[in-house]
Amino acid sequence: ADAKSLRETVDKLKDKLKSAAIVLGSIADGKVTLIAGVTGDLVTKVKAGELVNHVATQVGGKGGGRPDMAQAGGTQPEHLGKALASVRGWVEAKL
């Protein structure tokens, strides 16, 4: 999925879940695309920009954005699974 599709999916999930921190990632042409979204009730504790940067650093990249939506990229797709697996613990530590 491209960045636009990932953003649209995050928006739909935020609407459906009502209270969530979400990170989606995709790999295309050897590059990682990441999108993070945080629902309004959690943005004081969990910032999407910090969350996406946490994941991006593990896949050889960086990113940022607004407290409720952020985007990043990376160049090490082989680390994406492990990076995404780290999201739950990072979010729980912030809450």
Q: What is residue 8's predicted lDDT score, i.e. its pLDDT?
A: 97
| CA distance linking residue 33 with residue 24, whole number of Å | 8
pLDDT reading at 1 higher than 90: no
Q: Percentage of the chain surpassing pLDDT 90?
A: 98
Identity of the residue numbered 29 = D
Give the residue among 66, 56, 61 at the shortest CA–CA distance from 10. Answer: 66
| CA distance linking residue 79 with residue 47, whole number of Å | 22
pLDDT in tens, 81-94: 999 999 999 999 99
The mean per-residue pLDDT over the stretch 35-47 comes to: 97
Specify the pTM: 0.95
Cβ atoms of 39 and 28 closer than 8 Å: no
